[in-house]
Amino acid sequence: IRLQGYLKRQIDGLQKYQCHDGMWMQVLDKPSYEESSCTVLFAGAIAHAIVKGWIGPEYAPMALKAWDALKAKKIVDGKILSVCVGTGIRDDLKTYLTRPTSEEDAHGIGMTITTGLEIIALKNYLAGKNVLWTRPSFNSCSVEINSETELEGLSLEYKKAGTHLWNKVDIL
């Protein structure tokens, strides 16, 4: 219960920094750029927490708005745009504000797929249907999918081993 309270407070804090279109900025409380991987992570975590019953469904609009913004602006021709490249801990704000982005960053692709599955689960949950659940495996970059309902709109294409490019990322 105590951890759920912390989670709820964290999400409440994120809510005030969500951009009007649904994205979050690279640096949440500073003018920077809309960043895909943080938006993906926040949307997926919120959707997952709702389905698990850790927070209420009143938070669903945050996750769905973020997913819609990603689909509309950042998932283009199988690429995830505006993914900040890996960043170590730094002690100056300028480093974070000027981080470059990549269209081939593997953490952006993997988390986008996982979040897409979490959004499907959330939509099923909100509709009173059986819930899809996922168990991502970050070591092998695979996702186990279990569902008693049809996965409408789910489309994944495999990439050639050794490359970072996906031909298509079209989950919903």
Tens of pLDDT, residues 8-55: 999 999 999 999 999 999 989 998 889 988 999 999 999 999 999 999
pLDDT exceeds cutoff 60 at 164: no
Q: How confident is the model at residue 135 (pLDDT cuts 50, 70, 90)?
A: low
Q: State pTM to two decimals.
A: 0.78
Query: At 83, which helix (H) or strand (E)?
Result: strand 83-84
Alpha helices for the chain (secondary structure H): 2-15, 36-51, 60-69, 93-97, 106-126
When the pLDDT of each residue in the chain is averaged and rounded to a whole number, the result is 79
Evaluate whether 69 touches 35 at the Cβ level (below 8 Å).
no
- Stretch among 66-70, 106-110, 124-128 having the lowest mean pLDDT: 106-110
The residue written with tokens 């982005």 in the block is: 101
The β-bridge partners of 143 are 136
